[in-house]
Amino acid sequence: MTEARLEIIDLTVRFGGVRAVDGLSLSHSQGGVLGLIGPNGAGKTTVLNVLSGAAPPTSGEARLNGRRITGLRADRIARAGVARTFQNLQTFHSLSVLHNVLVPLEARAAAKPVVGLFAPLLRGGQLRQRAADLLGRVGMADQLDTPVASLPYGARRRVEVARALAADPRLVMLDEPLAGLSRAESDDLARLIRSVADSGVTVLLVEHDMVAVMRISDRVAVLEQGQLLADGTPAEVQADERVRSAYLGDELDYDPLLHKGDKRAEAAARQRVATDPDAAADPGLAADPDVAADQEAAADRPPQTTDRRRREPRAQQ
């Protein structure tokens, strides 16, 4: 599968007087995981809403593989290869686990004209098998017939991810998939996200768990007040002074970028800073040799931050 080519061109979304997204331009065609971070209200979810057709842009556009997706109805965008999960967990609560994943499969099968209505009936067994396979991939194989409403939060998240994958997307957008999960659940889901990206599906990841974002992402884009503040490899972004100060304030004495919004990790990091001077330099990531090496390499280079507000002229008038 060729990598999805996503282009966001001078996108602006205004809610009344507020510019939730303000002239954002961002292209991504190298696959993998694109992390989208930024403080609350930076416009991350709004970008996802525009890309999935849940909210209309005020101006600008987005293209997937050259095809304009802004302005299309949400289900058309889904058929064009964009799937998503939601920040506030949107499963089909009256349906079983299996049926939650069956819904997008059947919608796809029914999309063909004329015979479409009957396709989900004729291919029922095949679609069920595919749904069961996807649920196996997220570790839900033994709970296919469980009503989704009776599942714990973490399991519902996984069902939602399986449902997003069922649409056979080129681009999957995950809106804070790790929020509210236990450490073990979060690690499992992070591994799954990585494996999805490695299978050739581009992942756009909005997430507050910075340790996870930095570990999973191939590229990280930082939004602030609806504008692109910086983007680059995780190491580049972490090293960027502007990102640090804008995103977090620089008064903290441990690496704040890694632990913002994660109380447990913050506490752990403080602990480590107190007891182990090495960990203070790179809490959380020191255990991962690749990332640590990246970080060292990045420290030698000047930060390659793109500040599109200054560098790039607006693509459209």
Partner 1 sequence: MTADTMRHEGRVRADRLRATARLLLPYAVFLAILLLVPAVFTRVPLYTMGNGVYMAILAIAALGLVPLTGFAGQISLGQAAFFGTGAYFSAILTVKSGLPATPAAILGMATAGAAAYLFGRYLFRVSGHYLALATLGLGLVLTIVASQLEITGGTAGVVGVPSLAPFGVELFDDVSYYYLVAAVLLVAVVVVDGLVRSWLGRSLTAVGDAPHAAASSGIDIAARKRLAFVVAAVLAAAAGSLYAHWAAYVDHHTMDLLLSLQLLIIATVGGIRTVWGPVVGAFVVVTLLQVSQELFPELSERVGGQAEIVLYGLALILVLLFLPKGLAGWASDVIQRLTRARAGADEGGAR
Which CB sits closer to partner 1, 38 or 81? 81
> Does residue 144 bind partner 1 (CB under 8 A)?
no
Candidate list 54, 144, 273, 315; residue touching partner 1; CB under 8 A: 54
Q: Which stretch binds partner 1 (CB under 8 A): 11-19, 91-99, 210-218, 253-261?
A: 91-99
Going across the sheet that includes 171-175, the strands are 82-84, 171-175, 202-206, 33-37, 219-224, 227-232
- Give the nearest distance from C-beta 70 to partner 1 in angstroms: 15
> Does residue 157 bind partner 1 (CB under 8 A)?
no
- Give the nearest distance from C-beta 123 to partner 1 in angstroms: 10
> Does residue 120 bind partner 1 (CB under 8 A)?
yes
Candidate list 67, 68, 93, 309; residue touching partner 1; CB under 8 A: 93
Backbone angles phi, psi at 292, to 5 degrees: -60, -40
Tell me if 181 sits within 8 A of 189, measured CB to CB: yes
Residue 174 and residue 226: Cα distance in Å, rounded? 18
Q: Distances from the Cα of 290 to the Cαs of 189, 191, 205, 256, in angstroms?
A: 20, 16, 21, 21
Q: Which stretch binds partner 1 (CB under 8 A): 10-18, 90-98, 217-225, 290-298?
A: 90-98
Residue 149 and residue 187: Cα distance in Å, rounded? 23
Which CB sits closer to partner 1, 93 or 301? 93
Candidate list 4, 33, 83, 140; residue touching partner 1; CB under 8 A: 83
Which CB sits closer to partner 1, 79 or 242? 79
Count helices and strands (H / E) in the chain: 14, 10
DSSP string, 203-219: EEEE-S-HHHHHHH-SE
List contacts with partner 1 (CB under 8 A): 52-54, 73-75, 77-79, 82-84, 86, 90-95, 99, 102-104, 106-108, 110-111, 120-121, 124, 160, 163, 166-167
